[in-house]
Amino acid sequence: LFSSVEMAPRDPILGLNEQFAADTNPHKVNLGVGVYFDDNGKLPLLQCVQAAEKAMMDKPAARGYLPIDGIAAYDNAVKGLVFGADSEPVTSGRVATVQAIGGTGGLKIGADFLKKVSPSATVLISDPSWENHRALFTNAGFTVDTYAYYDAATRGVNFDGMLASLNAAAPGTIVVLHACCHNPTGYDITPAQWDQVIAAVKAKGLTPFLDMAYQGFGHGIAEDGAVIQKFVAAGLNFFVSTSFSKSFSLYGERVGALSVLCADKEEAGRVLSQLKIVIRTNYSNPPTHGGAVVAAVLNNPELRALWEKELGEMRVRIKAMRQKLVDGLKAAGVQQDMSFITTQIGMFSYSGLSKDQMVRLRSEFGVYGTDTGRMCVAALNSKNIDYVCQAIAKVM
Ligand code: PMP
């Protein structure tokens, strides 16, 4: 049965992790994977999460099956976070939200649902994009193409190219957009550019799918969510996947969601019923713990304030590391202007380093980033920054 099964290629990021684990260099630094570490190089367990878990331990609850669409209090909290609790889409009941297994799960539920309602549509992802976007939509049965995004020459977004790609797309094309903190480049478009993207999406009748994996890591929770308000104001119907992996440092709990903004409450009811079929036939219903923790935090004013504070600290630390990287590279003798690192946003920096330079960084210095030159700035800290700057300066 399995004699003709081919060996699948290794996941590029997880492959890097294995290589990193086997590296005996005592100075090694892993900037490959998209995970936030604190200044001691440790994965944080947020205080708000600990407080919610303690309250749950004090009042232990049995674990029955959750509803197919997840914990109602969780779904409502997601709606509030994404659209605003008192916003018209939420109060009118035209948002269908389901709890999902991470942001990846939200994307997958959306992709499988879209394959049913729009089977012949093409999917456009940014060039480049998070690796899994292409694989995920391809596996859902779509042809996946790209829209122009990164411009290596100007170190920024090729916005004219992006608009041209959208304007050339056939009506009904599904466009996957990074709501904030673009992965892998770290370059977001400006609010005024979003207006132009929205106008093109509307004029061409495209289907927007916003991937919001980093809400709160860019400029703030509300600031990063502002793009959603723009899509609402334009009168569009669209998809939003949410991930709490990074913003709650709950990577392994797999907490995410999918929200679909529909025309009205009745339509949202029909869409929700179909999302539930997708879930039921894949994994039946979501797990309890992570969703319960996030719901407990978001729905309790004190814990929510604590979460916003802790998320703000992560955001500020990343920004400080960007500045330290720029200063450190200069001090280490790099002639080139590296200030673009501070105009990038979120966890990642497209460093502009070549594949050869990235390979040298790994083999000679134990500094691990992806071959594309992507580095996770959120894994830099006051102890490893000087070493990383020296290493980069040497390969440059
Ligand atoms: N979308 C993007 C752009 C991401 O960077 C990630 C996580 N790396 C995800 C989705 C998936 O998030 P999760 O880990 O919650 O599935």
ipTM for this model: 0.99
Strands 174-178 and 122-127: what pairing?
parallel
Instruction: Determine the pLDDT at residue 9.
Output: 86
C-alpha to C-alpha distance for 73 and 262, rounded to whole angstroms? 20
**Could you tell me the residue range of the domain that residue 243 belongs to?**
65-299
Residues 84 and 184 in one domain: yes
Instruction: Determine the pLDDT at residue 33.
Output: 87
Residues 193 and 282 in one domain: yes
Q: The CATH number of the domain where 378 resides is what?
A: 3.90.1150.10
pLDDT for 272-310, tens place per residue?
Answer: 999 999 999 999 999 999 999 999 999 999 999 999 999
The count of domains in the chain is 2
Active site residue 246: yes
Which of 278, 299, 320 terminates a domain? The answer is 299
Q: Which of 132, 187, 251 to mutate to test the pocket of ligand 1 (most atoms within 8 A of CB)?
A: 132
Asked whether 103 lines ligand 1 (CB < 6 A), one says yes
Residues 321 and 268 in one domain: no
Q: Answer yes or no: is 192 within a domain.
A: yes
In the chain, which residues have pLDDT < 70?
none
The model's pTM is 0.96
Q: How far is the CA of 331 from the centre of ligand 1 (A)?
A: 34
Active site residue 307: no
Instruction: Determine the pLDDT at residue 15.
Output: 84
Residues 284 and 321 in one domain: no
Residue labelled with tokens 């914990």: 71
Active site residue 211: yes
What are 30's strand-pairing partners?
368
Residues 335 and 385 in one domain: yes
The token duo for 151 is 């411009």
Which of 282, 299, 316 terminates a domain? The answer is 299
Asked whether 112 lines ligand 1 (CB < 6 A), one says no
Q: Answer yes or no: is 59 within a domain.
A: no
Residues 181 and 267 in one domain: yes
Q: Which of 17, 104, 187 to mutate to test the pocket of ligand 1 (most atoms within 8 A of CB)?
A: 104
Single-letter amino acid, residue 170 = A
User: Do residues 77 and 299 make contact, with C-beta atoms less than 8 angstroms apart?
Assistant: yes
Q: Answer yes or no: is 214 within a domain.
A: yes
Which of 299, 314, 344 terminates a domain? The answer is 299
